[in-house]
Structure 1
Amino acid sequence: MISPTTIDQVFETARVEEVIGDFVQLKKAGSNFKGLSPFSDERSPSFMVSPVKQIWKDFSSGKGGNVVAFLMEHEHFTYPEAIKYLAKKYNIEIEETEQSDEQKEQASERESLYLVSEFASSYFQNILYKTDQGKSIGLSYFKERGFTNETIKEFDLGYSLDDWSAFTDAALKKGYQLEFLEKTGLTIVKEEKQFDRFKGRVMFPIKSMSGRILGFGGRILTNDKKAAKYLNSPESPIYHKSKVLYGIYMAKQSIAKEDNCYLVEGYTDVIQFHQRGIKNVVSSSGTALTSEQIRLINRLTKNITVLFDGDAAGLRASLRGIDLILEQGMNVKVCTFPEGEDPDSFARENSLEELTLYLEENAKDFIQFKASVLYEESKNDPIKKAETIRDIVNSISKIPDRIKKEIYIQECAKIMDISEGVLFSTLAQINKKDIQEADKKYKRDYQKSFEVIKNKQTVEKVDVQYVLEREIIKILLLYGNKTEDFEDLILKENDLGELILEPVIQEAKVFEKVFLDLQEDEMEFTNEKFKHLYYTIIDELNKHADFNLKSFINKVDGDMASEITTILMEDERYTLDDWNRMNIFPKEKNHTVAQLVSETILSLRCFLIDQKVKQFQAETLKNKTSSNTSVLEEVKDYSGLKMLLSRKLNRVL
């Protein structure tokens, strides 16, 4: 168990904008930060972070909460794991008891898979440094590649013994279940036998953006022609190779800082670049680039530089990945190395200055690159040249931004020596075809939607009481402990016997004013979630004169914290759009707290009076008797009171 003091220290130290900034590229938006949602595929920001309130809200998925809630949602951490992650990030010492065998058994499957992977990583590192085989084979290989001890430790590199079941036996002896060893792919189980998947390989742990070990890559060092040179962990509940980039944990801060990401092919390419001093580099680990991997980079930067080996044969096969990057609205450059060189060897043989200069001078725009690769194959064949041009224009058609499209068309016309008019015409044909396909899909989807909604006869109305109850919760959260001068309205009869509202100024704390007003009129919350939240906040404000919103959010359960975040961040939604650029200036709220409280309570009173009048009217129609004098008198009194309250509301508004 983690001590409450340590948890409090973590919450006091951790900054939500700093933690989320490690996973999402955030841009300033007034007093807040905005960015692309890490929970959905989008091109316009709907993700908001509030440094003042220390909360976040994702309007596209509806998720929100504090810094721990983000880690639990994004990285699938348990609560203790999120606290440990933050403690490590902010160098806070954390005490916890060793997990018993019983606790290990009770851990969820996902957590168990992570525990097994963490053990495997430690085991392989231990083998590398503390066994003769590890040092003579594994460590020697890494040294031959030019890796320093610091780099080997930084990337947690290791070695798996050339033994059929050395790792599996060690894991079972430590109490890890065979079921989870098999599910992570570390152990292969066949009938009564089990053996190590990565037997006799140097090991590269594959980490998530937060540093959790998801799987492994292993390289064989013998000349066994039957065995694959590189072997990756199979798909598992924690490892999906299409959604993972090797090196992203080490590179994320540098990618955001440099506003560019270098994309390479192999593990050693990443490590060699990192060791040389270029840290904003990741790898797709030998698999074809996927949309999910691109979106991972897109959260940190809009700029990708793809680095290819000098092998011309593999270039054409890699062009599809560039189109995928363009579809995501990102900027792409391509850099190739001299024949016979790859990023690993080139970084090893050149200084940081030489490597940086080479990348700057040789990184081409994707149009120039694609044209140079395809043009060599088609320069003497008109038919092939036409196909090449169409291929390039097809790539340009993937770009969402119209201005960029036009600029690239002009660039392509110059390179391929063809008129812009022809290229624009070709682009229009491709776009028309895409539009027709999209139109067909839209019509299909619309037909399905229409089938669902065509029988709906009523339009959903705004729930006024829900809105007002929600506003009361918001007032209590933001201003509950604040002392204000309130103008109370006392109902009196004047000399003519008419009901009038006489104003009286009283000083009170906001939460006391709200509580007493609601209690006086016997007004109850109808929404159960708000009702529970209301009494929890009132109790907290009553007990603690130094009520702190951040601490309160950190104490309540996940569902309540999410609801609080939604309430507090709703007004921030409009800042996600750059309204000022379109000469639209949203009106700022300039009410005093006292006015806001009075307006909300009065509005709720008016609404409830209105409901009461409607109830009386319904009863009158239902009974249809002549003796409705008392009911009519009550309706008259309520209507008069509503009129008085409405006048007061108009003055406040």
Structure 2
Amino acid sequence: MISPSSIEQVFETARVEEVIGDFVNLKKAGSNFKGLSPFSDERSPSFMVSPVKQIWKDFSTGKGGTSVSFLMEHEHFTYPEAIRYLAKKYNIEIEETEQSSEQKEKANERESLYLVSEFANTYFQKVLHKTDQGKSIGLSYFKERGFTDETIKTFDLGYSLNEWQVFTDEALKQGYNLDYLEKTGLTIVKEEKRFDRFKGRVMFPIKSMSGRVLGFGGRILINDKKAAKYVNSPESDIYHKSKVLYGIYHAKQSIAKEDNCFLVEGYTDVIQFHQTGIKNVVSSSGTALTSEQIRLINRLTKNITVLFDGDAAGMRASLRGIDLILEQGMNVKVCTFPQGEDPDSFAKQNTLEELSLYLEDNAKDFIQFKASVLYEESKNDPIKKADTVRDIVNSISKIPDRIKKEIYIQECARIMDISEEVLFSTLAQINKKEFQEDNKQYKNEQKAFDVIKHQQPVKKVDVQYVLERKIIEVLLLYGNKKEDFEDLVLKENDKGELVLEPVIHQAKVFEKVFLDLQDDEMEFTNPQFKELYYTIIDRLNQNPDFELKNFVNSVEQDMANEITTILMEDERYALDDWNRMNIFPKKKTHSIAQLVSETILSLRCFLIDQKVKEFQQETLQNKIDTNRNILEEVKDYSGLKMLLSRKLNRVL
């Protein structure tokens, strides 16, 4: 258990924009930050972070909260794990008692998989550094690759003993469940037998963006034709190959800072580059590049430089990945190394300055690279050349930006020595085909929408919902503030006429709201708002130092989502960047006291209208002479409505 004082210190220190900035490339948008949603596939930002309110909101999925809830949503941390992560990030020493075996058992399955993986990571490192076999085989291999002790430690490199089940036995001895060892792929279970999957291999832990161990890559060091050179952890609840990039944890800050990501093929390529001094590098870990992996990079930068070794066959196979990158609206460059060299060996033989200069001089735009690779094979064959041109134009068609498309067509015409008109015609044919397919899909969707549209009547604006929501917003933002409120009281003047006279009194916003609603015996109709209202009032009453970020962290996730939606509603319009189009939204000029009074008076007027409508319905349904008492009440309510309207007009 983590002590309350430690949790409070973490809340006080953590900055939501810094925490989320490690996972999403945030750009300034007025007083806030915006970026691409990490929870959905999008090209226009719908993710907003407010440093002032210390909350975030993802308008594409409806999720929202604080830095802690972001880590719980994005990294699937438990609450204590999120606190520990933030404590580590901000160098806060936390007080906590050790988990009991009963608490360990209660941990959910996903968390158990993480715990097993973390144990394995520590175990393999210990074997590498503390056992004779680990030092003589594993450590020697890493040293031969030129890795320093610091690099080995940074990437948590390890070694799995060349014995059938020594790791599994140790894990079971430490109380870890065999079921979870099998689900993470660390142990292979066949009938009554158990085997260590990574027996006799050097170990490369594969980490998430936050540094959690998801799985492993293991390289065999002996010549065994029956055994694969590299073995990866199988798919599990925590490890999905298509959604993970090796090295992203160590590279994320450098990628955002340099505004570029180098993409390589292997583990050692990443490590060698990092050791040389180029840290904005990741690997697809031997799998074909996927859209999910590209979107992971897209959240940090729009620029990717793909690095290939001198193997032409390998380059051609990897060209397919470039089209995927272009589809995501990203800028792609390609750099190849001399024949017989790969990123690992080239980085090992060169200094940081030499490597940086080589990458700068040899990184080509994708169109130049693709043309040079394919053109050499087809220049003497007209049919192959035509196919090559069509292939390049097909890649250009993937680019969402029309200006970029045109520039690339012009570049392709120059390189391939063919007229722009022909290329634009080919592009138009490709686009027409795609348009027809998209249009067909749109019409099918529209038909379905029309059915729904005719079935469901258009909903009217729920005025009471809007006003109740506004009261919650006022309490959250200004509940503890002291304001001068002007109440208008009916008094008789010298002529004997009743007039409204202002009376000023000072009160906290939450006290004013609570007393006004209580005086009129007004109740919230929305159950979620009702629960929120009483929770906020209770917290404000008990805690004079009420802080919004602490409150959002302490409520259920559904309620946290609702709170952030309410608080970030105005900020969502900053996502559209109206200023860029010379449209300047009018700023709010209400004072807090004015806003409170206007909202409560509006709600009271609305409720009076509802009451009068009820009387009308009752009269019509009875179909008898109108009851004198009902007439009296309607008259009283109408008089009250006129009085409130005069007050409301004064407030406005």
Q: TM-score, normalised by structure 1?
A: 0.98
Q: Distance in 2 between matches of 1:544 and 1:172?
A: 48
2:645 match: 646
Pairing 1:78-97 to 2, within 5 Å after superposition: 78-97=78-97
Offset of 1:651 from its aligned partner?
3.8
Residues 368-391 of structure 1 show CA distances to partners (whole Å, capped at 9, x for unaligned) of: 000001101110011111111111
Offset of 1:102 from its aligned partner?
2.3
Q: Distance in 1 between matches of 2:442 and 2:146?
A: 55
2:145 match: 145
Pairing 1:12-91 to 2, within 5 Å after superposition: 12-91=12-91
**Letter matched to residue 573 of structure 2:** Y
Q: 1:250, 1:279 within 8 Å by CA — same for their partners in 2?
A: yes
Q: Distance in 2 between matches of 1:564 and 1:493?
A: 45
Residues 72-117 of structure 1 show CA distances to partners (whole Å, capped at 9, x for unaligned) of: 0000000000001011111111232222322222211101101110
Q: Distance in 1 between matches of 2:498 and 2:43?
A: 58
Q: 1:242, 1:290 within 8 Å by CA — same for their partners in 2?
A: yes
2:188 match: 188
Q: 1:500, 1:644 within 8 Å by CA — same for their partners in 2?
A: no
SS at match of 1:465: helix
**Letter matched to residue 17 of structure 1:** E
Offset of 1:559 from its aligned partner?
3.1
1:559 match: 558
2:450 match: 450
Offset of 1:532 from its aligned partner?
1.7
Q: Distance in 2 between matches of 1:453 and 1:168?
A: 59
Q: Distance in 2 between matches of 1:404 and 1:636?
A: 69
Moved more, 357-366 or 584-593: 584-593
Q: Distance in 2 between matches of 1:540 and 1:110?
A: 34
Offset of 1:561 from its aligned partner?
2.6
Pairing 1:217-366 to 2, within 5 Å after superposition: 217-366=217-366
Structure 1: runs of 5+ lacking an equivalent: none
1:570 match: 569
Q: 1:260, 1:302 within 8 Å by CA — same for their partners in 2?
A: yes
Q: Distance in 2 between matches of 1:432 and 1:556?
A: 51
Q: 2:619, 2:626 within 8 Å by CA — same for their partners in 1?
A: no
Q: Give the 3 Å change call, closer, same or farther, for CA 651–422 of structure 1 in structure 2.
A: farther
**Letter matched to residue 513 of structure 1:** K
Q: 1:486, 1:506 within 8 Å by CA — same for their partners in 2?
A: yes
Q: 1:214, 1:239 within 8 Å by CA — same for their partners in 2?
A: yes
Q: Distance in 2 between matches of 1:556 and 1:214?
A: 29
SS at match of 1:57: strand
Q: Distance in 2 between matches of 1:590 and 1:189?
A: 68
Q: Distance in 2 between matches of 1:315 and 1:239?
A: 27
Moved more, 488-497 or 524-533: 488-497
**Letter matched to residue 636 of structure 1:** K
**Letter matched to residue 46 of structure 2:** S
Q: Distance in 2 between matches of 1:103 and 1:389?
A: 63
2:583 match: 584
- Residue 544, structure 1, aligned to residue 509, structure 2: no
SS at match of 1:454: helix
SS at match of 1:238: coil
2:527 match: 528
Residues 576-612 of structure 1 show CA distances to partners (whole Å, capped at 9, x for unaligned) of: 1110111211111011111101110110011000000
Moved more, 352-361 or 101-110: 101-110
Moved more, 484-493 or 7-16: 484-493
Q: Distance in 1 between matches of 2:633 and 2:160?
A: 86
1:125 match: 125
2:173 match: 173
2:471 match: 472
- Residue 208, structure 1, aligned to residue 204, structure 2: no
Offset of 1:539 from its aligned partner?
1.9
Moved more, 554-563 or 111-120: 554-563
2:4 match: 4
**Letter matched to residue 151 of structure 1:** T
Q: Distance in 2 between matches of 1:383 and 1:62?
A: 52
- Residue 619, structure 1, aligned to residue 618, structure 2: yes
Q: Give the 3 Å change call, closer, same or farther, for CA 100–504 of structure 1 in structure 2.
A: closer
Q: Give the 3 Å change call, closer, same or farther, for CA 105–507 of structure 1 in structure 2.
A: closer
**Letter matched to residue 212 of structure 2:** R
Offset of 1:459 from its aligned partner?
1.3
Offset of 1:507 from its aligned partner?
2.0
Q: 1:394, 1:430 within 8 Å by CA — same for their partners in 2?
A: yes
Offset of 1:184 from its aligned partner?
0.2
SS at match of 2:460: coil
Residues 430-449 of structure 1 show CA distances to partners (whole Å, capped at 9, x for unaligned) of: 00000001111112222233
SS at match of 2:455: coil
- Residue 405, structure 1, aligned to residue 405, structure 2: yes
Q: 1:482, 1:510 within 8 Å by CA — same for their partners in 2?
A: yes
Moved more, 138-147 or 460-469: 460-469
Q: Distance in 1 between matches of 2:198 and 2:545?
A: 57
2:419 match: 419
2:480 match: 481
1:106 match: 106
Q: Distance in 1 between matches of 2:534 and 2:166?
A: 59
Q: Distance in 1 between matches of 2:95 and 2:502?
A: 58
Moved more, 415-424 or 271-280: 415-424
Moved more, 558-567 or 67-76: 558-567
- Residue 368, structure 1, aligned to residue 368, structure 2: yes
- Residue 159, structure 1, aligned to residue 159, structure 2: yes
- Residue 509, structure 1, aligned to residue 508, structure 2: yes
Offset of 1:130 from its aligned partner?
1.0
Q: Count residues in correspondence.
A: 652
**Letter matched to residue 570 of structure 1:** E
Offset of 1:340 from its aligned partner?
0.3
Offset of 1:500 from its aligned partner?
5.1
Offset of 1:494 from its aligned partner?
7.3
**Letter matched to residue 542 of structure 2:** K
**Letter matched to residue 642 of structure 1:** K
Q: Distance in 2 between matches of 1:5 and 1:38?
A: 31
Q: TM-score, normalised by structure 2?
A: 0.98
**Letter matched to residue 325 of structure 1:** I
SS at match of 2:639: helix
SS at match of 1:487: strand
Moved more, 162-171 or 526-535: 526-535
Q: 2:186, 2:233 within 8 Å by CA — same for their partners in 1?
A: yes
SS at match of 1:570: coil
Q: Distance in 2 between matches of 1:378 and 1:496?
A: 103
SS at match of 2:333: strand
Q: Distance in 1 between matches of 2:389 and 2:180?
A: 52
**Letter matched to residue 71 of structure 1:** L
Moved more, 94-103 or 36-45: 94-103
Moved more, 548-557 or 386-395: 548-557
Offset of 1:463 from its aligned partner?
1.2
Q: Distance in 2 between matches of 1:547 and 1:169?
A: 51
**Letter matched to residue 94 of structure 1:** I
Q: Distance in 1 between matches of 2:489 and 2:521?
A: 17
Residues 119-143 of structure 1 show CA distances to partners (whole Å, capped at 9, x for unaligned) of: 1111111111111111111111100
Q: 1:245, 1:284 within 8 Å by CA — same for their partners in 2?
A: yes
**Letter matched to residue 605 of structure 2:** C
SS at match of 1:225: coil
**Letter matched to residue 522 of structure 1:** E
Q: Distance in 2 between matches of 1:29 and 1:344?
A: 40
Offset of 1:550 from its aligned partner?
2.5
Offset of 1:491 from its aligned partner?
4.1
SS at match of 2:568: helix
Q: 2:69, 2:553 within 8 Å by CA — same for their partners in 1?
A: no
Q: Distance in 1 between matches of 2:150 and 2:506?
A: 64
Structure 2: runs of 5+ lacking an equivalent: none
Offset of 1:499 from its aligned partner?
6.5
**Aligned-pair Cα RMSD in Å:** 1.5
